[in-house]
Structures are given as structure tokens and as C-alpha cells.
Amino acid sequence: MDYDVIYIGSGNAAWQGGRFLRKAGLKILIVEEDLFGGTCANRGCNSKALLDAPYEIKALTDNFEGVGKSGDFEVNWSDLMKLKQKRIAGMSKFLDGKFKEYDLDVAHGRGIIVDEHTIKVGDETFTSDKIVICTGLKPVIPDIKGKEYLHDSTDFLDIAELPKHAIIIGAGFVGMEFASILAEAGHEADVIIRGDMALKEFHQPYVQKVIEILKEKNIHFHFNQSVKEIIKDDSIVINNPEDKVSNIENSMNSDELLRDPQAKIDNKAYEKGFTVNLDSGESITGDYVIVAMGREANLEDIGLENVGLTYTKNGIKVNNHLQTAVPNIYASGDVADTGIAKLVTVAIHHSKYLAKELLGKADEIKYPVVPAVAYTIPRIATVGVPAYIANKSDEYEVHTIKYGKSYSLELKNDSTAEVKVIVDKELNIVGAEIYAADAENVANMFTFIINKKITLDELDEMIYAFPSSSSVCLYKLHNIHYNF
């Protein structure tokens, strides 16, 4: 065999564990047809975090409106995008360097499975004892008329100028997070949702709070609606209220302006538009259409049929060792159909587990509680037993802690932060739903508490840094402990 392990894909589901296998003496090959690091590194998590941060800061400054704020905090998207492109452009090259540092071999091109021990990349063929498939997910593109006008998350995260009136199809992580950016930027958007819930994985009362904030900022929601077709319509113009028409002779009106391409306009006063027709008969117009209907397994044309493997949109079925129906072929990360949330943190967990598994040092994979965060503004997070399950069971109690209301001064004048803490009959914390500007950090705190089974008594004996969101939230847990 040429290699001990070949990974098809170079994201966190591959190299995080591959480096440990190489350190243990195994010969490793990573096959990648695109950029090293996969979606999260190049087109997802990192880009979103960088572009979102200034709008998060803007929202925090708004807490001091009328009580200390002077002037407006404005985000220059063009400059921000230049920074993002500069930072992200070097990510693949950086990881290429890390692969060399870890002594991992690489092959550029699409990896095709020829048989259970053979991978073809272009004109080259490689053999391996074990194969790990970690090709990740791709955006779901609906098969509708006008789908060529759709933009996915990759497009939006690289757009030169924010759309003035976006139409977002879907209200999961991507749709709602992009809606928050557009809202904070002062732009308009319509969000089209097939069902009756946005962010259905999260605590719906908190989701509704975010929706109400977005509605106040010109984001419109259309529930129980499906898109029939998208039409590019050059007769539609989207006015940009932030731009002003200048140097227009004889006070030209809008119709005259459109007929006169030589008229001088500061920036872009008007954009050509699109019409999105819904099955209900309703029509929505905008200048940019984003598809955010989720992601599905990226497994086409990699030769799975050559080894008798099948898959669904959720990926390839695996056992508790991440092993497919072909014993020496494994699936890792988003492409593994495990029933666990498809998050980069889970992909890393898979990859590190597989390193132990392939070295013969692991039992069945076990999953700790997995926190999930919607990076809306404000954030929503969930970890452990969700409130909707706890509310239906006699085994749990749900306690609401409005720690922002009690400690708004310590929380940068944020009075809305709160958490629903789920406890069992012995008052052990088993879950949390968080609504706060820094919900991700509070979620990590509860993740640690739940995974390590830290009791309320033990928490009560600790001393915390104050002021901080974690300390004030933890202090309010006393109400559960002492039944206040």
C-alpha cells in the first residue's frame, strides 16, 4: 500500500486527526480539489466571524443611545471586505504550510474511489489501507425557474457591496445571521420561510425576540411560503435611501434619471432588481436573492458506487466507529450521517476520535453535549436538554434567569440577557437556552458544567471574576440552589 490512510477532503474532519496519525508513524495522504481547509476556513465560519464583528459592536453601542452615546458607529463594508479577503486569502496557503509541517502528503484534484483500497486523483492512482471520506456539505439549491439568479453564502460573504433590498430564502443559521447583518447595516430584506418557524433548532421564544428586533429594522418575514420562480426584471429599480442624487440638471425625477445613463449619481442610487414569485401568488422584489435552505452531503461523483456505498442528503450511514458499510472506509465530519449536529466542532471531534480508532486505541465514539449558537444579533445558544423537551416532562424543571435585568450595568447596559436553565430532579444542570449578546461564551460555560456534572453546591463554593456575564449568570443560579 502507498499509504496507511487517505483522506478525501482537507477540512477539520481530516487534518485534525491526520496529524496525530502521522506523528504515530502512519503515512498519510490528503486529497483536495479545492482550497485547503474546506468551507469553514475559506468560505464559512472565519469569513462570517470577521464580517459580523463590527455589526455586533454597533449593536452594543446602541445600548447607550441617550445615555452616553455620541455620534453614530458606522461600518464601512467595502473596507471590511478588503480586510476579510486579505485575511482569508492566506488561509489555504497557511494550512498548506501546516500540512508540510505535520509531514502530511497532499494530492490536488478530485479524489475518486476506484475500489476499497484505491483512490484516483487525475492521472495518478494511490492505494491505502484505510480511506476516510470527509467531503463536507454543499448548499441546497432548489430546482426552480430562475435558480441561476440565486446567490449562496459563499457569494454573500464575498460581495463587494451589501444589497439594498435582499430576498433571503430560508431562515436557518445562514438566513437569520445574514438578516442580522443587513438589519444593522440599515438595509432591507425579505425572509421567505417554508414552515412556521425560523431557527427551529433553537428556543422559539428567544427566536421570536430576534425576529421582533429584525422586524423593527426593516426585515420582513413570510412564513409558510415557497418560491415558485425568480425573474430578473430590468424594469425594477431598488432605491438606495442612503445615496443622494447630485448634479442632476433641471431637477430630473426618477423616470428621467433612468432614461439618462449620463446623469451623475453619487455611488449607486438605483440597482436593477429581481422578482421572486411565491406559490401563494405573492410577489417580492429586491436587488439580490440569497438561497439559505440548508446544506446537503457533498458526495456526488467520488465513486461511491464503485464500492457499493449509498448516501442521502444527510450523508453516509456510519456505525459507532464512524465506519461505513465497507469496513476499511470511514466517514468523518458533516458527511457522516450520525444524527449529531453538523458543526465544525463535531467534525474536529470525529477527526480526533478516528485517529485513536485507526490506532486501535478507541472504543465506540461518545459525544459530549454539543452547544450550538446562532450568530444573530443578539445571539441565541442552546446546549444539553432543550427547554421544549423539559417543559413536556416531569423529569425536569425550567428556571428563567433574567440576569441582564439585574446586572445591566455590569453587562454594558444590556438589560435583555437571560438564560433558561434546565435541571433534573436532583437539581443537576442538564441544559440551557441563552439569549444574550455573548451567548456563545455563556453557552461554553454551561457546556463545561453539564459535561463535568458540576453541582450547584460546587458552583456556589467557587469565586468568579466580576463583573462578567458568566459571573452574574452564575451568581443568579443561587436562586435555583436556595429555591428563591
Q: Single out the residue of 100, 84, 73, 81 nearest to residue 19, CA to CA.
A: 100
Q: How far apart are CA 295 and CA 297, in angstroms?
A: 7
Tens digit of each residue's pLDDT, the chain (484 residues): 899 999 999 999 999 999 999 999 999 999 999 999 999 999 999 999 999 999 999 999 999 999 998 998 999 999 999 999 999 999 999 999 999 999 999 999 999 999 999 999 999 999 999 999 999 999 999 999 999 999 999 999 999 999 999 999 999 999 999 999 999 999 999 999 999 999 999 999 999 999 999 999 999 999 999 999 999 987 666 655 444 333 333 333 434 433 333 333 333 333 569 999 999 999 999 999 999 999 999 999 999 999 999 999 999 999 999 999 999 999 999 999 999 999 999 999 999 999 999 999 999 999 999 999 999 999 999 999 999 999 999 999 999 999 999 888 788 899 999 999 999 999 999 999 999 999 999 999 999 999 999 999 999 999 999 989 999 999 888 878 776 5
Place of cell 441582564: 404
* H-helix or E-strand spanning residue 45: helix 45-62
Identify whether the C-beta of residue 417 lies closer than 8 Å to the C-beta of residue 436.
yes
CA distances from 353 to 21, 65, 346 (A): 11, 49, 10
| DSSP-based three-state secondary structure for 336 | strand
261 and 281 Cβ atoms separated by less than 8 Å: no
C-alpha cell at 128: 491505502
Domains by residue range for the chain, with CATH: 3-138+295-358 (3.50.50.60), 147-291 (3.50.50.60), 378-481 (3.30.390.30)
- The alpha carbon of 68 is separated from its chain's Cα centroid by a whole number of angstroms, namely 34
Which residues neighbour 165 within 8 Å (Cβ) at sequence distance 6 or greater? 187, 188, 189, 190, 238, 273, 285, 286, 287, 288
Note whether 447 and 459 are within 8 A (CB): no
Question: Grid coordinates representing 94?
Answer: 497557511
Query: What is the full DSSP assignment across 54-90?
Result: HHHHHHHHHTTTTTT--S-----HHHHHHHHHHHHHT
CA separation (Å) from 455 to 230, 394, 434, 451, 475?
Answer: 54, 20, 19, 11, 14
Which helix (H) or strand (E) covers residue 447, if one does?
helix 439-451
First-to-last C-alpha distance (Å) of the chain: 66
